[in-house]
Copies of this chain bind each other. A is one copy, B any other.
Amino acid sequence: MKPTIYDVAREAEVSIATVSKVINNTGRISDKTRKKVMDVMDRLGYRPSIVASALTGKRTYTIGLLIPDLANPFFAEIARSVENRGHELGFSIVLCSTDNDSNKEAKYIALLRQKSVDGIILAAGFNNDEILKQLVDEKFPIAVISQDIPSLAADSVTVDDYLGGYKVTEHLISLGHKRIAVFAENARSSKERIRGYRQALTDAGLDLDERFIYVCDSTIEGGKQQAREMLTITERPTAIFACNDLLAVGVMQAAREYGLTFPDDLSIIGFDNTILATSVNPPLTSVAQPIEEMGRQVMDLLVQRIEGATNMKRRVVLLPEMIYRGSTKPPVIH
Name the contact of A114 in the complex, choosing from B48, B69, B220 (C-beta under 8 A): B48
Q: Does A249 contact B (CB under 8 A)?
A: yes
Q: Does A233 contact B (CB under 8 A)?
A: no
Per-residue CB contact flags for chain A residues 63-93 toward chain B (1 = under 8 Å, else 0) read 0010001110100110110011001000011
**Chain B residues with CB under 8 A of A249:** 279
Q: In angstroms, how far is the closest chain B Cβ from the Cβ of A155?
A: 21
**Chain B residues with CB under 8 A of A115:** 50-51, 60-62, 92
User: How many A residues touch B, CB cutoff 8 Å?
Assistant: 48
Q: How far is the CA of A252 from the CA of B77 in the complex (A)?
A: 23
Q: Does A116 contact B (CB under 8 A)?
A: yes
The answer on a CB contact under 8 Å between A52 and B49 is no
**Chain B residues with CB under 8 A of A92:** 94-96, 111-112, 115
**Chain B residues with CB under 8 A of A111:** 92
The answer on a CB contact under 8 Å between B80 and A70 is yes
Known: A70-B77, A114-B49. Is A83-B97 also a contact (CB below 8 A)? Answer: yes
Q: Does A47 contact B (CB under 8 A)?
A: yes
Tally of this chain's copies: 2
Q: Does A299 contact B (CB under 8 A)?
A: no
Q: How far is the CA of A173 from the CA of B14 in the complex (A)?
A: 72
Q: Which chain B residue lies CB-closest to A276?
A: B279
Q: Which chain B residue lies CB-closest to A245?
A: B279
**Chain B residues with CB under 8 A of A2:** 113
Q: Does A256 contact B (CB under 8 A)?
A: yes
**Chain B residues with CB under 8 A of A50:** 114-116
Q: In angstroms, how far is the closest chain B Cβ from the Cβ of A286?
A: 13
Q: How far is the CA of A51 from the CA of B49 in the complex (A)?
A: 11
Q: How far is the CA of A176 from the CA of B65 in the complex (A)?
A: 50
**Chain B residues with CB under 8 A of A84:** 97
Q: In angstroms, how far is the closest chain B Cβ from the Cβ of A110?
A: 7
**Chain B residues with CB under 8 A of A278:** 220, 253
Q: How far is the CA of A256 from the CA of B282 in the complex (A)?
A: 11
Can you list 28 pairs linking A and B with CB atoms under 8 Å apart? A47-B113, A47-B114, A48-B114, A49-B114, A50-B114, A50-B115, A51-B55, A51-B115, A51-B116, A52-B55, A62-B94, A62-B115, A70-B76, A70-B77, A71-B76, A71-B77, A73-B76, A76-B79, A83-B95, A83-B97, A87-B97, A92-B95, A92-B111, A94-B94, A249-B279, A253-B278, A256-B281, A280-B280
Q: A51-B55, A83-B96 are in contact. List 10 more A-B contacts (CB 8 A).
A: A50-B115, A51-B60, A62-B115, A65-B95, A71-B80, A71-B275, A76-B76, A92-B95, A275-B276, A279-B279
The 3 tightest CB contacts between A and B, nearest first, are: A76-B76, A281-B281, A70-B76
